[in-house]
Amino acid sequence: MATQEEALAFRVPQGRYDVTAALDERLRSAARAPGRHDAEPAHPIMAFVAALGGMGMSIRELSEALGLAFAQGPVLGGCHIRLHRPVAVDRSYVIDTRVSALQRKPSRRFGLADHLTLAFEVTDGSDRVCEVELAMVFPGGEAA
């Protein structure tokens, strides 16, 4: 596993994410949510989806770059989302990501686990749309 210092210095490439009406409809269906009315923004979960899905590399690639055990099935530990405006459909968003923490800790669920915290800023190219911080828990505490 990378040291905390190495993880914080790791540069995640900037990414983009296209929130289409069709994608919003598919995720609403997957979530068993009501359909979108004409002028309505995307389902509010789209802030999270655009951030992680639009990161400049996949979560597997980032995990492997940091020496984390992706094959052991990481799970989400928590998230904090600040929505400055609703995520609109048929818009393209720019995603900037940084690693804000990486720590190995005792885990009630897994015995020992690596905790990775990522911070995302989602903009529409000029204005900030949302900020997302998420904590992922990698069971086992050892790279696969």
Partner 1 sequence: MTDDILWSLDDVPADAMAEWCAALNDDNAIHLDRAAAEANGFGPRRVNPGPANLAYLLNALMAAGRGNEIVEIEARFLGNVLEGDRVLVAGTPATPGMEDTRLTLARVTGPGAEDIEPVLQARIGFNGRRPEE
Residues at the site binding partner 1, with contacts judged by CB under 8 A: 23, 26-27, 29-34, 40-41, 43-45, 48-49, 52-55, 58-60, 70-84, 86, 109, 128, 131, 139
Return the number of the residue (67 or 139) whose C-beta is nearest partner 1.
Answer: 139
Question: What are the CA-CA distances from residue 120 to residues 32, 38, 126, 136 (Å)?
Answer: 27, 28, 15, 14
**Token code pair at residue 3:** 């040291």
Tell me whether residue 6 or residue 96 sits nearer to partner 1 (CB atom): 96
Q: How far apart are CA 47 and CA 7, in angstroms?
A: 24
> Least distance in Å: CB of 82 to partner 1?
5
Min CB(136)–partner 1 separation in Å: 9
Q: Is there a contact between 73 and 139 (Cβ–Cβ < 8 Å)?
A: yes
Only one residue has tokens 């009315």, namely 37
Task: Pick between residue 79 and residue 119 the one whose CB is nearest to partner 1.
Answer: 79
